[in-house]
A and B are shown apart, each in its own frame.
Chain A
């Protein structure tokens, strides 16, 4: 029993389970890195955007209504 457990401790460090675990872990992390690179390589061209949801100028105009918004928020709820 004592010998078996002593061997088993060594066995824990170099076994086929170690090989499977390390291969799968590095496959997993490597694949995640590949996907990250692929996402970064997606070509982004503003000309291809079909729908312009809102223009920047419209946001600026809306931004000037901050006083009105603050006023509305400060109004007492009836």
Chain B
């Protein structure tokens, strides 16, 4: 029964996301034309390409998050039936997948994009100092399109999913609680399935895209601001400082997640475990 309800939620969430990403893809394609005519330099679509890569990566991150969530949800319910400790560990594993995959993919794609653009954008030799600085600044301004793409998808993912989940929640409550006198989230209420689908697409896929957007935007903004300084341009390791900060964050998270697994988890200490 549990598996049956989980499969209904999974198929509903996948259907919603496919439809949402279809329209979002069309919007991004149209918006990329605007980006091309307003933000490009030398008529090469560097910013547009970075924008599209950011949008696609954001969609992938949201989709991975949603898939692993619907995959983990019912396993957590099952594990909680055995003990709170088991349920905590299953849920924690599910959360780790989205967190680690999102940051890893975001940084990897951004770094590869910078490396490719550096090869394509920058010449072997420069005519003078001003040209060299100007080209380096333009390079990182083009990279900023990556953050814009991520934020665009995050905006629609968060808002679209949020409206859907609220509509499903209110609909389920009206039909189930008010008309039929059922309890909140009662499995007898078909609207509960829609409510759970909304929770997955809004709070997980939307939040995943939102997290990606924040990370990509903050990192790209730092790169653009850093490129203003000649001193920083002369020391590329300093240019990559924002990316290194995120990379160190991955290592810190990797080490600290083991702390949450030390000892059994019960009702009294579950909150403190998560705060670790």
Contact = CB atoms under 8 A, between A and B. Distances in A.
B46 to A, nearest CB: 16
A5 B104 contact: no
Contacts of A17: 236-237, 240, 243-244
A40 B132 CA distance: 52
Contacts, number: 155
A8 B250 contact: no
Given A21-B111, A27-B250, A29-B101, A73 B179 contact: yes
Given A17-B237, A51-B81, A69-B179, A32 B101 contact: yes
B140 to A, nearest CB: 11
A48 B81 contact: yes
B247 A24 contact: yes
Contact of B100 (A11, A29, A44, A52): A29
Nearest to B180: A69
B97 interface: yes
B234 A8 contact: yes
Interface residues of A, number: 47
A54 to B, nearest CB: 5
A38 B188 contact: no
Interface in B10-54: none
Interface string A34-78: 011011101010001111111110110010000001001100000
Interface of A: 1-2, 4-6, 8-9, 11-13, 15-18, 20-22, 24-29, 31-32, 35-36, 38-40, 42, 44, 48-56, 58-59, 62, 69, 72-73
Given A29-B108, A49-B78, A54-B187, 13 more contacts: A1-B129, A1-B132, A5-B132, A13-B118, A15-B240, A17-B236, A24-B104, A28-B107, A35-B93, A35-B96, A35-B97, A49-B81, A72-B180
5 contacts: A5-B126, A8-B235, A25-B104, A32-B98, A49-B81
